[in-house]
Structure 1
Amino acid sequence: MPTLATYARVYVEDLDTALPTFVRLTGEQPKLRFTYRDLELATVGGYLILGGSEAALAPYRGTHATAIVASLDEPLRITEEHGGEILDGPNDVPTGRNMTVRHPAGATIEYVEFAPETRSAAGVR
């Protein structure tokens, strides 16, 4: 199961305030920007920046990273084989499909299967 891309998650109060710093740090413009529930999200370089109120961010703060995969089938199978726990999903989301997994050692990872148009926009092969 190849991981196509991995994003470090950054939680901020205001996405518009945070973006200029990450644009400057990475030398890249946001490739994706979208809303999900009460959050605003953007990808810049290797970061997934999640903006929202403390209450809106609270359910997501325990997730350590976001991994982009070609299909959710393989991480789903591996999670089940190794005794991990599916915390949420699979779900349809603005960028494709996702699920959040707690692995046996405790790492919590969001796996995302980008829709073809999102994959192209994000520059993920």
Structure 2
Amino acid sequence: MRVLQQAIRIYTERSQWETAIQFYETLQGVPCERRVHIDETNVDAAKVGGVLLLGADQETLDTLRLVTAVYYVDSLDESYSCLKTNGAEILHGPQTVTGGRNLTARHPDGLIVEYFEPAKKKENA
């Protein structure tokens, strides 16, 4: 397992989502890399440098706030094994989601992290 990137998760109501994206673009001096709508949870997501912004209604955000960070990994299956072996509690097991697969784990120190393996890009034939 290799952690490819890490990002803190920022939660914002949809009415402030564009403003938050612009703020973090300016703050970090980088453009938004990716925007997606996650159908499973009705959440909008945007990756800006070391920040993953999540936009939704307040009720949805309240259920998401326990997760502090996201680790982008090269193998979710290896991450799962490593986490279990090293004392992490798996809160939500591996599942297919928009853009790839994820799981949520509580580290032994209490930090709750989403582990995300992006879907492999299809090569043109």
Decide: shared fold, TM above 0.5: yes
1:20 aligned to 2:22? yes
Equivalent residue, structure 2, for 1:45: 49
With normalisation by structure 2, the TM-score equals: 0.87
1:84 aligned to 2:98? no
1:104 aligned to 2:108? yes
1:64 aligned to 2:87? no
Corresponding residue SS for 1:97: strand
Letter in 1 for 2:9: R
Equivalent residue, structure 1, for 2:121: 117
With normalisation by structure 1, the TM-score equals: 0.87
Percent of paired sites with the same residue = 37
Structure 1 vs Structure 2 CA RMSD: 1.5
Letter in 2 for 1:6: Q
Give the conservation status (yes or no) of the 8 Å contact 2:2–2:75. no
Q: Which runs of 5+ in 1 are unaligned?
A: 119-125
Residues 59-87 of structure 1: CA distance to partner in whole angstroms, max 9, x if unpaired?
21011110000001222112221232111
Letter in 1 for 2:4: L
Q: Which runs of 5+ in 2 are unaligned?
A: none
